[in-house]
């Protein structure tokens, strides 16, 4: 989703300090998930916290990740449950704007990014509420975990009555990509492997749950599960590899130097 973002931690306010409680409980919304990764003393937790702080404070563009009239009661209930878990700072709600560049502080944008005025973030390519991707993301910095509440609209149809597999891949890529960004900064998808288990009914609500499993140099390995909100149905599961990019060079510059 934000794969073209610069390293968000650089240049951000340094007053924010992450205080981790080793006894912080993990979210139990989705059953059957494997234990999540916790921050080690050497993990870049300040990077995570600063990134969340900036995104939480940014208000220059419309935030599409807020409730609207197209959200079902299940979507609202799940959203409110995560908002409750945000009150103690364990989780953070992540805004979602129509242009990926709007997620980057002005001082950190590269020249080509500052000129992008007509682009549109793919999952936010429709202004009419409820027709496409309705989603909201929440981050747990200490667990290096990102979850996405996803309600597919009728314009995402594949087989009649169900979401197209490509839309499922998009929301998985967006979620694991956002998770990778908070760990490594500017990243790009290198590999995304998805096993589809059960189709997602249009208009239903699912929880996309991703976490960082391992970091090896510039490589960030993640896993993800898409489950029904009661945790009983596994719709898809995936593994992903993201590569950390140079935060001072555009993607085009880096590809041409290969």
Distance in angstroms (rounded) separating the CA atoms of residues 71 and 73: 7
Catalytic site includes residue 21 = no
DSSP 70: T
Which DSSP string corresponds to 52-66?
HHHHHH--SS--TTS
Distance in angstroms (rounded) separating the CA atoms of residues 177 and 175: 5
Of 63, 102, 173, 209, catalytic: 173
Spatial contact of 163 and 157, defined as CB atoms under 8 Å apart: yes
Closest Cα partner for 122 from 183, 189, 72?
A: 189
Closest Cα partner for 33 from 202, 172, 147, 154?
A: 147
The pair of three-digit structure tokens given for residue 90, joined into one six-digit string = 């364990």
Catalytic annotation, residues = 173
């Amino acid at each position: 989703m934000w794969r073209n973002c610069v390293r968000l931690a650089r240049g951000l306010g340094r007053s924010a300090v992450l205080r981790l409680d080793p006894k912080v409980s993990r979210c139990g919304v989705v059953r059957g998930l494997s234990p999540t990764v916790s921050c080690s003393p050497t993990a870049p937790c300040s990077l995570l916290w600063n990134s969340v702080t900036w995104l939480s404070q940014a208000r220059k563009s419309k935030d599409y990740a807020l409730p609207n009239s197209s959200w079902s009661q299940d979507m609202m209930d799940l959203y409110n449950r995560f908002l409750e878990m945000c009150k103690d700072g364990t989780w953070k709600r992540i805004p979602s704007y129509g242009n990926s560049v709007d997620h980057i502080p002005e001082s950190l944008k590269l020249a080509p990014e500052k000129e992008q005025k007509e682009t549109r973030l793919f999952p936010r390519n429709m202004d009419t509420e409820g027709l496409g991707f309705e989603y909201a993301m929440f981050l747990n910095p200490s667990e290096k975990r990102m979850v996405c509440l996803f309600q597919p609209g009728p314009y995402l149809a594949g087989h009649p009555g169900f979401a197209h597999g490509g839309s499922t891949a998009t929301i998985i890529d967006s979620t694991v990509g956002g998770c990778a960004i908070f760990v490594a900064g500017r990243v790009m998808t290198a590999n995304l492997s998805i096993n589809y288990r059960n189709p997602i009914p249009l208009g239903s609500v699912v929880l996309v749950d991703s976490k960082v499993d391992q970091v090896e140099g510039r490589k960030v390995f993640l896993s993800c599960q898409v489950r029904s909100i009661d945790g009983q149905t596994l719709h898809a599961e995936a593994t992903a590899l993201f590569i950390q990019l140079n935060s001072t060079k555009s993607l085009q510059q880096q590809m041409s130097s290969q």
